[in-house]
Amino acid sequence: MLKSMISELISIDPSQLFIDKIIDIEVGQRITTQKNLSYSDPCFQSSTDSTLPPSRFLDMISQSATALLNSKKDLSGQKNRLKTLEKLALIGSASPGDVCRIEVNVLKHSEERVDCEAYIYVDGQVIVEARFSMAISAAHGQVNIHPTASVHPSAVLGKDVSIGPYSIIGEDVHIGDRTVIDAHVLIEKWCEIGADNHIYFGSVIGSNAQDARYEGERSTVKIGDGNEIREYVTINRSTGEGTETRVGSNNMFLVNVHIGHNASIGDNVVLANLVHVGGHVRIDDGAIIGGLTGIHQFVRVGTGVMAGGYSRLIQDIPPYMLCDGNPAMVRNLNIVGLKRRGISMSDLKALKQGFKSLYREGMNVQQTLEACTPDPNNPYLDAFLRFLSEESNRGINQKYEAGSDNQ
């Protein structure tokens, strides 16, 4: 194979190529390449030492592995980079005039990495043995990485991802297609971020859980698609091996929002400026939380809730409620929000009865559940009753003070 063709296969400048030809290849399994050493090679011209430096052996091995992996059709459009080097044993040496034969074999192949072994021969004798892994990620030609940004070699970047100035992308981070990372953003190790997100200046995603029980175990922040995460938002990783802090899709988090460890945020949630979400908090779909609100750890906020600004949420707020205050009190049903969701009059009437039982008639949670007739065709009442029947660490907020019935 011509050297120019090898250069194109590996996506490297021909002047940096350290393979002359491919002798044999079994797609996805093994490759044998060759390098003819001569005094014209730049590494010999810039040194008085006539033996090949170890870094050039590593170039031969990694470029051969890249050619092997790029020969697979299902990896087209991917960039394969050296991830870890477990072993590099220098048994002999090579000098100008020697012909190096490089053999690379795949040991294990997963979605994100490929484990390999390699041998380099001169005159039939092994001079180098290596064990290493290659990271599989999107080709840099498909992303826009600012020269001042730092992207860990194991990070996996989707198509049309943009990484802004001085941003840092950590170990084993996955970022989906078309996501935009602005300047000075830190995305720590192990995070998974979906497609079409926009993360603004100064945000920190995936920093260690602010929890005395956290001991460095592998956990993650998992973010869905289409979120707008504004300036200086912080989202902590979870406590507990294999656990996650979860953010759904199509949310908007405004300036200085903080989301604590093990929190779970649904879809279409709005958190206004300086909302602080404690650890293990759950906020369900479509909730809107006003600015400067604090949410105590383990609190649940039901779907369709609207909480006014400057509130303190210390107990669970059932679905479709309006609340505010310090501590927060329930004021009414979120009638405007329900109408925007297209609720029918019959469904609204049934939900109002549940609201009156819990807040206006003085019933406790169990009495409310017994007084309301479940209706599988009424998703609003079903969400309300299901929320009340779930286990609660903080208890259901039954503090009530009437607000405007026009809301």
Domain 3-136, classified CATH 3.40.50.10860, yes or no: no
First CA to last CA across the chain, in angstroms? 74
Q: What is the pLDDT confidence band of residue 30, given thresholds at 50, 70 and 90?
A: very high
106 forms beta bridges with 116
Q: Do the domains 140-341 and 3-136 match in fold?
A: no
* pLDDT one-digit tens code per residue, 299-350: 999 999 999 999 999 999 999 999 999 999 999 999 999 999 999 999 999 9
CA distance 284 to 287: 6
Any idea where the domains of the chain sit in the sequence? Answer: 3-136, 140-341
* pLDDT one-digit tens code per residue, 72-87: 655 544 566 777 888 9
- Domain covering 140-341 in this structure, CATH number: 2.160.10.10
Say if residue 139's pLDDT is above 80. Answer: no
DSSP class of residue 252 equals: E
CA distance 248 to 206: 15
Q: What pLDDT was estimated at residue 84?
A: 83
Q: Is the pTM of this model over 0.75?
A: no
Mean pLDDT over 185-214 rounds to 97
DSSP class of residue 118 equals: E
Q: Among 89, 80, 140, 132, which residue's Cα sits nearest to residue 111?
A: 80
- Confirm if 205 and 199 have CB atoms less than 8 A apart: yes
Both structure tokens of 44: 């010999």
φ/ψ of residue 43, rounded to 5:
-65, -30
Both structure tokens of 55: 């870094």
